[in-house]
Amino acid sequence: MSAGERPFVVAIIGAGPSGIYAAEALSQQTDVPVSVAVLDRLPVPFGLVRYGVAPDHHSIRSIRNTLERTLEKSGVRFYGDVTIGSDLTIDELRGVVDAVIYAYGAGTDRRLGIDGEDLFGSIAAPEFVAWYCGHPDVHPDIDRVAARGPDTQAERAARLIATTRSAVVVGVGNVALDVARVLIKSVDQLADTDMADDVMASLAKKTVTDVHILGRRGPAYTAFTTKELRELGQLPDVDVIIDPADLELDGSSRAVVEQDKVAARNMAVMNGWAAAPPTGAPRRIHFHFWTRPIAISGDGQVEAVHTERTRIDSDGYVQGTGETDSIPAQLVVRSVGYKGTQLPGVPFDAATGRVPHSEGRVIRDGEFSADEYVTGWIKRGPTGVIGTNKSDAVETVTSLIADIHDGAVQAVHSIEELDELLAGRDIHPLGMPAWHRIDAAEIELGESHGRRRTTLAHRSELLAAAEDHDSDAAAARP
């Protein structure tokens, strides 16, 4: 990199792992100088590391520290509380930067497509996870509650927690395990987390004694990581119950276990549970494999989940056997995957829920768009673990740097143009100093309760904590 070279200005939309890993890849390369602007609609960075990883998984949530170091790097700036699509359009953003990387994830849920799915008591896992992680979208401020009425997502979840004895979780991935664990743990067992005060108050009223986890395929086909699966068996006062018949392997399942070490380890864990007699613990987690929901019923709210046994046909597809059953339940959490949505002005394939691309280069109107790139779940779909986003971001940034070398992307803008555009709209982004003030406020609040930290869940709380009172006081002095 030669002295005096004009830096390429790259805007990244989304400050979750995928966006920050893209910023890291850009800042680590030495081929071309770059100025990176990481924008997010929320006042705080870190995306699903803050709002998607279960609060009792401290080691995974600590990835935030690594992500934070990237946002502190020279040449990287965080622009929080800036919503692309309303504060700025995509075209306006593209008009003041040299390239854009879309990294805004997949924020909605996949549907089951069965009767009763919209009954009170049936909730999507992304919504429930956002509630217990303290996401401001599901913890609206008082003025917003007054405008919309009292029945907010957060309040529905809180009411369900206090009236549910039997819950059904549909899905066999790590998010399903997270949900089951939060539902079955006592509030005392969650006291060392950073859950918001509102959430802890609701969980203190929890009445859940049984959680049923449904998988439409057999145990060899689960997406659990073994570490997370084992955690369920280590919970005090909780029995894990599996019918040994559900663990019998057909030919296709045996082939999976023989080829997949994780599947083999998971089978060993589950066989151990199935072989152990119940202890009579006051709370239970039940696994139901080869079982799919076919309807949810109730008089205005969930009362039962109706299921059908399944099998895999000769072509490898799941088929119903016609054998049905019912599970009494007051709460259903649908954990069958996240789905991407379109950001206004961005190319989108509704069939896949992704931005169309090749090696991270966005395809617009059938052709590569010279200054548009994509990474993360909105690029590849909601697959992989957090670390998967790192290699994914490297692929996208490699394509961007190659296009710079080929002359397809030119350095014609400066980061000041973005600042001027925002200032002209009276938009005042929150940078890393604001995040540090929020961070300190959460730690202080937590310590006042005898906890390590407490999440501020309401947007008004976050914005109030972000204010620089010292600077305001200095500006007021004569």
Distance in angstroms (rounded) separating the CA atoms of residues 318 and 24: 42
Over residues 378-399, the pLDDT tens digits come to: 999 888 888 899 999 999 999 9
Which DSSP helix (H) or strand (E) runs through 325? strand 318-328
Helix (H) or strand (E) holding 230: helix 226-233
Question: In the prediction, which pLDDT does 68 show?
Answer: 96
Q: Taking all residues of the chain, what is their mean pLDDT, rounded to a whole number?
A: 91
Where do the DSSP E strands lie in 5-159? 8-13, 34-39, 76-79, 99-102, 108-109, 122-124
Q: Any residues with CB less than 8 A from the CB of 42 and at least 6 apart, and which?
A: 15, 80, 81, 136
Q: Is the pLDDT assigned to residue 100 strictly greater than 60?
A: yes
Q: What pLDDT is attached to residue 233?
A: 94
52-74 pLDDT tens trace: 999 999 888 889 999 999 999 99
Closest CA to 287 of 331, 229, 332: 229
Strand residue runs (E) in 180-317: 210-214, 238-242, 283-288, 291-297, 304-312
Does the pLDDT at position 411 exceed 60? yes
Q: pLDDT tens digit string along 207-233?
A: 999 999 999 999 999 999 999 999 999
Quote the pLDDT of residue 314.
Answer: 80
Rounded CA separation 142/381 (Å): 35
At residue 470, the pLDDT reads 56
Q: Which domains does the chain have, with CATH numbers?
A: 8-107+340-430 (3.40.50.720), 117-336 (3.50.50.60)
Judged against a pLDDT cut of 80, whether residue 282 lies above it is answered with yes
What is the rounded average pLDDT of the residues 91-102? 97
Which residue would you say has higher pLDDT here, 311 or 143?
Answer: 311
With pLDDT > 90 as the criterion, what percentage of the chain qualifies?
81
**Per-residue confidence (pLDDT) for residue 477, from 0 to 100:** 38
